[in-house]
Amino acid sequence: MSTAMKILPVCLLVVLLAAFRATSRKNAGEAIIRVGHTGSAVTASLYVAQENDSILLVPFSGEDDVGYALMAGEIDAALMSPEKAALLLEAPAGRSMHVRGIYEYPFGATLAISSSLDIRLGDLPGTRLAVSSPVAEELHIFAEELHRYDIDIADIRFVVLPYETMVPALSSGTVDGALIRGSSMGPLAREGHQILFQKWDFEPGDDCCNITAQVEQVLLLAESAPFAPEFLPHHLSQGEALSPEKLRRVLAQQFPLLGDVDLPLAEFSPGESHALEQYIRHQGHGQRVEGVRFDDEFTGQARLTGHTATQRNTRGIHE
């Protein structure tokens, strides 16, 4: 049985449990705050917070679905990447949403190669690699590494894909490799894919680099959310006080298929983020890597393939 088939019953069980908890609390007249997320094996305090009966975690298959649910009032808060959060805050509906905290994570540029391939860096010309954006920080770091080995980046074809679709696209053979952030390593490792290149350069709080290299997740809260604005950030911060061993046990319960993959833990900081405001001001001004070629037509096909592989119908849990 494939890993995907093993994961499906677990995902369905999580959704059914969430639906049961939400219905039970609504019937009891209890106030709850619904937090949309796509799942992360590094944000341990998020899963600690759900031990509070007033906090309900609502899983989604992609960040676009999280954003739509927040705008529609189906959830009260959301954890999203800084790129998606910035776009949402600039939309008309974003006027009723506020940043209430961020998760920071050490930046690591990682190139994962399909487990079906046996190649080295020198064999990359002619391959097709996924990257999250034409101006992604990991692409800049990867280009520097290729230059060191006298490899022409123009001989590699790149496909732009959201992070959440990269692992399915890689597993299906739609792409040969994927440039990811270090926080995405867990699912890749469990699928048996190879790490061909990795460079950990930055620590949370560094001033040297693109802000999206520091901020892993942004906590957005709707003005209509129950409880005081400090309620959810407070409980996320409380989880940070636990020992790393306890936090890793929590993650192991949430992601049993990750096994012994040992990743750093993201750090939550409550309050409004000036860092995100800075990112919004500079959005779209990132520099492209000279010589990089993008396969625009193939990008659409790969995006569809990845989305189909990850899509789950989670709307029912909000009814």
pLDDT digits (tens, 9 = 90+) for 3-44: 444 444 444 444 445 545 544 444 445 789 999 998 888 899
- Supply the pLDDT for residue 317: 29
pLDDT digits (tens, 9 = 90+) for 212-251: 446 788 999 999 999 999 999 999 999 989 998 899 889 8
- Decide if 3-105+215-282 and 107-202+295-308 have a common fold: yes
Q: What are the beta bridge partners of residue 80?
A: 218
Statement: residue 204 has pLDDT above 80: no
Statement: residue 62 has pLDDT above 70: yes
Statement: residue 158 has pLDDT above 90: yes
Statement: residue 50 has pLDDT above 90: yes
Is residue 21 packed enough to be buried (19+ CB in 10 Å), middle (13-18) or exposed (0-12)?
Answer: middle
Over the chain, what is the mean pLDDT?
78
pTM of the model: 0.70
**CATH classification of 107-202+295-308 is 1.10.3720.10, yes or no?**
no
Domains of the chain: which residue ranges? 3-105+215-282, 107-202+295-308
> Residue 73's pLDDT band (boundaries 50, 70, 90)?
very high
- Supply the pLDDT for residue 206: 46
User: Topology of 3-105+215-282 in CATH?
Assistant: D-Maltodextrin-Binding Protein; domain 2 (3.40.190)
Share of the chain above pLDDT 90, in %: 36
Closest CA to 242 of 16, 45, 39, 46: 45
- Supply the pLDDT for residue 132: 86
Which tokens belong to 43? Answer: 């944000």
**Residue 178: strand, helix, or coil:** strand
> How many whole angstroms separate alpha carbon 51 and alpha carbon 34?
13
pLDDT average, residue stretch 110-135: 91
